[in-house]
A and B are shown apart, each in its own frame.
Chain A
Amino acid sequence: GDSVTQMEGPVTLSEEAFLTINCTYTATGYPSLFWYVQYPGEGLQLLLKATKADDKGSNKGFEATYRKETTSFHLEKGSVQVSDSAVYFCALSPDQAGTALIFGKGTTLSVSS
């Protein structure tokens, strides 16, 4: 079945460092891809998304490109801040019919000043 694999955490960085969190997926169709973020004490919220191959999603300085050839959707940010400390989840939606998202296990990011 469809699945998402993302890199194990925790990821610990200093402020202004470059961030990459790897995500790869397995899907039989043409999924949409997402990154969700969960800040401490808050609910999950959408960070960015891409609905077709070669699309780039971006938000708050984060970017991810939908790579069909490598079945990847890696999250990147050029300069992280302490406020980026959170758990990041990669997810896919298998189709356009509104069926449920499939999530990866999450990667904890901790940024220190």
Chain B
Amino acid sequence: DTGVSQNPRHKITKRGQNVTFRCDPISEHNRLYWYRQTLGQGPEFLTYFQNEAQLEKSRLLSDRFSAERPKGSFSTLEIQRTEQGDSAMYLCASSPRTGETGELFFGEGSRLTVL
């Protein structure tokens, strides 16, 4: 199965620590999206890339959040100085540039627990 892969699947950290999540999209997809999902809520858009260009980042929740996609393949989402409110599921999705609008392919997510 060559779907979207996210690692780690679950991360437990102490408040104030930095965490990084990795997303490997479907290989031929050049759009990559990050979402956050909290309990009982739908996915909330954070940022997205087309190849290595970050086209939208104004929705990142604070300046503690940053994302990269240096070679247009995998992406990382880093949260610095984590807070308990950052506890959530972080979802990655990809789509082909020439695909029909809106069909995103999601990974299974990375769950963050901040103690």
Contacts and interface: CB of A to CB of B under 8 A. Distances in A.
Interface of A: 4, 32, 34, 41-46, 49, 51, 89, 91-93, 95-96, 98-106
Contacts of B97: 98
List of 6 A-B pairs having minimum Cβ-Cβ separation, nearest first: A103-B42, A93-B102, A100-B45, A44-B106, A43-B106, A43-B108
A42 B102 contact: no
Interface in B39-53: 40-45, 48, 50
Contact of B102 (A34, A45, A104, A105): A34
A103 B43 contact: yes
A101 B104 CA distance: 8
B101 A102 contact: no
A91 B102 contact: yes
Given A43-B108, A43-B109, A45-B106, A98 B45 contact: no
Interface size class of B (residues with CB under 8 A): 20 to 34
A44 B31 CA distance: 17
A99 B58 CA distance: 13
A106 B103 CA distance: 17
Contacts of B93: 44
B4 interface: yes
22 contacts: A34-B102, A43-B91, A45-B105, A46-B103, A46-B104, A49-B102, A49-B103, A89-B42, A91-B42, A92-B102, A96-B101, A98-B31, A98-B101, A100-B33, A100-B45, A100-B48, A101-B102, A101-B104, A103-B42, A103-B44, A105-B42, A106-B41
